[in-house]
Amino acid sequence: MEIRTFEFDSATYLDSLEIRDEVLRKPLGMSIYNDNLDMDRTDFHIGAFQNGKLVGSLILHPLPDGEIKMRQVAVRSQLQSLGIGKAMIAFAESFASEKSFSKMVLNARKVVLGFYEKHGYEAVGEEFLEVGIPHFKMKKQLAPNPEN
Ligand SMILES: CC(C)(COP(=O)(O)OP(=O)(O)OC[C@H]1O[C@@H](n2cnc3c(N)ncnc32)[C@H](O)[C@@H]1OP(=O)(O)O)[C@@H](O)C(=O)NCCC(=O)NCCS
């Protein structure tokens, strides 16, 4: 498996929209193609590839004060629970530290809190609704990049 960044407006970006639609929107009776995708243009896109084919993706959105938000974390349905999500998170954290971000934040669906907890994320604050389902804010302090 290869994990790497890819560009907005690439063929891979279109593949990522399809995965996001299948995994994050269709099960809720929604469509990614109705989302406002403006932020995608300037955010960082990270993908997991098997035999050159995109199998999972996530997005990093820079925030003020050294924070960066992980969003739209999705692994192709038939390929979940095989370590792809874990590998994408590890890549995203290294990528963010290299860019001198010190804290990763995210809005986790309640059903996957355990996935993020396993990777050192801590829930903060009260449960809230996003896309109609329960979420928690989570955060993780990133290890400083020794080269910075
Ligand atoms: C959540 C998701 C990204 C995880 O990716 P994945 O490739 O399936 O997970 P991995 O195989 O890398 O799992 C890594 C570890 O987390 C654990 N884990 C995975 N999903 C979990 C869950 N829902 N709850 C608790 N632990 C979980 C695994 O058991 C594994 O543990 P191990 O390292 O001890 O074996 C993926 O399942 C997915 O796309 N789910 C649907 C969309 C979604 O909910 N996205 C997150 C929105 S906030």
Element (H, E) at 142: none
Q: What is the pTM of this model?
A: 0.97
Residues of the chain with pLDDT > 70, as a percent, come to 99
Distance 81 CA to ligand 1 centre (A): 6
Q: Which of 119, 129, 112, 100 is nearest to 73 (CA)?
A: 112
Half-sphere exposure in the Cβ direction for 61 (13 Å, CA): 13
148 pLDDT more than 80: no
CA-CA distance, 25 to 33, in Å (whole number)? 9
Architecture of domain 2-141: 3-Layer(aba) Sandwich (3.40)
At 15, the amino acid letter reads D
CA-CA distance, 49 to 126, in Å (whole number)? 35
Give the tens place of pLDDT for each residue, 71-129: 999 999 999 999 999 999 999 999 999 999 999 999 999 999 999 999 999 999 999 99
CA angle 62, 45, 31 (to 5 degrees): 100
147 pLDDT more than 80: no
To test the pocket of ligand 1, the residue of 115, 117, 121 to mutate (highest count of ligand atoms within 8 Å of its CB) is: 115
CA angle 95, 124, 112 (to 5 degrees): 70
* Average predicted confidence (pLDDT) for the chain: 97
Distance 67 CA to ligand 1 centre (A): 23
Give the tens place of pLDDT for each residue, 30-68: 999 999 999 999 999 999 999 999 999 999 999 999 999
